[in-house]
Amino acid sequence: MKIEFSIDGGFANLPGMKKPVTIDAAQLPPAHCERLRKLVERARFFDAVPAPMASAARDAQCYTIAVEDGARKRTMTMSEPIVDAAMRDLVGEIRACADDMRRNRPPRA
């Protein structure tokens, strides 16, 4: 499974934090890979009906997530606030992993 993640918008313009990141689950520790897979499934990422883009405040962040898992591929864009708890958990986990990658740190266990 590969996940491409990018952030747009937000209060502070931090270009380094907005640079797209590709997460290759095969390169993660097995437990972390499995956690990401479970979050993708729990959020029903490949089947979810996209929530309408909220007319969020100017400082709200917008996330674009592309997941490729075998023959399944899907890209979704969503903005804060993310109402669906499972999708919010998925975005939080992907964001934490992307932050670790940007800082050249091992993924959080």
pLDDT computed for residue 106 by the predictor: 66
pLDDT digits (tens, 9 = 90+) for 44-102: 999 988 766 655 556 778 999 999 999 999 999 998 889 899 999 999 999 999 988 88
Task: Name the band, by pLDDT with cuts 50, 70 and 90, for residue 39.
Answer: very high
Per-residue tokens: 103: 């800082």
SS (H, E, C) 46-100: CCCCCCCCCCCCCCCEEEEEEEEECCEEEEEEEECCCCCHHHHHHHHHHHHHHHH
pLDDT digits (tens, 9 = 90+) for 17-27: 568 999 999 99
pLDDT of 43 above 80: yes
Instruction: Name the residue with higher pLDDT: 104 or 74.
Output: 74
Q: Give, for 13, the enclosing helix (H) or strand (E).
A: none
Task: Name the band, by pLDDT with cuts 50, 70 and 90, for residue 9.
Answer: confident
pLDDT computed for residue 104 by the predictor: 79
